[in-house]
Structure 1
């Protein structure tokens, strides 16, 4: 695409401030800024998202139909989870500053922050990253189709999905009424299918979220 760029034109762009293009902001600690060819016309076939997350916040399950995604951790810690469509395995890849995880084009995946002040760059091999969100699939597929296809109770599906009225992007929503277990001694212990060891608790995996005895672990099957 850049082969057709007139680099002598007064409209040619070489710099951009990502803070000027907020894709989504949940709150002061959880936001996504986007940079694509729409903002910087010399980018050609590359784009990126600048993501900030606090503990236990999730970039919701989704896939990119037009690009591979390379996740680079700048600060904090995050677990990149994906489904391998060839092996039908759910894999979890915890990364910390300086480490990357790669999500091939079209693969279902999600990102869970396991430390506060997590800062990520996700880089795409496309001029603009396109995506299909899990929240859109759930809220736009008719409940009777879900019930009939998977032999489920339609009323229960409607009740469960009723709160999803718009794209979530970074979850859980601020108005979420669910609370983690409050009973002391309860821990969420879930299996990691990644060959990499889990990050030690002092790096954020045992964040209590203010609930004594509750440990958040992103490795949820």
Structure 2
């Protein structure tokens, strides 16, 4: 249990907060994340949370929290929480529905995919401000030359593949994604993307959204300036 040095007689002490006032990220009106940390509510102590809203096939991108574990609770809809066990080298996929949870240990690589529309998840952390390393930043900020040399890949192909990743994604695919439209993917195609789990109907529909991603205040900074 963390030790609190809060002066509970102070006129600045906070006991309540409206998460709608702190939007961490917005892709569109169906896919966005509100955040609560000690920055917004100074009596929180060693806890914080993300209020996550997703539509079908949208993904909270692969990432790690190097200073916090994460408990993902499904409020409505359905999602698959996927984690890589660094000890067994296994990809584990946990479908969750309302009332169910999946736990992500501190520092483990993971992501969440909504499998129905109107999915609402609550991610609870055991840190006042969790740190966050998104996969999009790892990919776009590591030189293609280094990736190609390290993994014996074609550098030109690596550059071409990663070129569209120009900013932190947070919720993917990006709203301007064209890949699946170009290949004519069926809107109701079923994808066997979860090994050892029943196939999930991903309904690949990527409408255009004019909104640009918005990064919220006082959350998940790790010595990186978002563009």
TM-score, scaled relative to structure 2: 0.84
> Does the 8 A contact of 1:63 with 1:132 survive in 2?
yes
The answer to whether structure 1 residue 138 and structure 2 residue 133 are counterparts is: no
Distance 1:62 1:8 in 2: 39
Aligned-residue offset at 1:178:
1.1
Q: Which residue of 1 aligns with 2:192?
A: 189
Residue 201 (structure 2) aligned to one of 194, 206, 209:
206
Distance of aligned partners of 1:147 and 1:55 in 2 relative to their CA distance in 1, 3 Å threshold? same
Contact kept, 8 Å, 1:54 with 1:113, in 2: the verdict is: yes
Match of 1:172 in 2: 173
**1:56-95 correspondence to structure 2 within 5 Å:** 56-95=57-96
- Kindly provide the CA deviation profile for residues 115-145 of structure 1, in whole angstroms up to 9, marking residues without a partner as x: 1000010000000111100000000000100
> In structure 2, do the counterparts of structure 1 residues 33 and 62 end up closer, same or farther at CA, with 3 Å as the change threshold?
same
Distance 1:45 1:161, change over 3 A: same
**Are the counterparts in 2 of residues 2 and 43 from structure 1 also a CA contact under 8 Å?**
no
Cα distance change of structure 1 residues 191 and 29 upon mapping to structure 2, 3 Å threshold: closer
Give secondary structure in 2 for the equivalent of 1:8: coil
How far has the Cα of 1:188 moved from its partner?
2.4
In structure 1, distance between residues paired with 2:103 and 2:68: 11
Alignment pair present for 1:40 and 2:35: no
Q: How does 1:25-36 map to 2 (within 5 A)?
A: 25-36=26-37
Q: Using CA pairs under 8 Å that are at least 6 residues apart, name the structure with larger relative contact order, 1 or 2.
A: 2
Tell me how many residue pairs correspond in the alignment.
203
Contact 2:84 2:91 in 1 (8 A): yes
What residue in structure 1 maps to residue 6 of structure 2? Answer: 5
| TM-score calculated relative to the size of structure 1 | 0.86
Structure 1 unaligned segments of length 5 or more: list them: 200-204, 212-221
Structure 2 spans left out of the alignment, 5+ residues? 207-227
User: In the superposition, relative to structure 1, how do residues 209 and 157 fare at CA in structure 2: closer, same or farther (>3 Å)?
Assistant: closer
Determine whether 1:107 maps to 2:102: no
SS for the counterpart of 1:149 is helix
**Compared with structure 1, are the counterparts of its residues 70 and 155 closer, same or farther at alpha carbon in structure 2 (3 Å cutoff)?**
same
Please state whether the residue corresponding to 1:15 is helix, strand or coil.
Answer: coil
- RMSD, aligned CA: 2.0
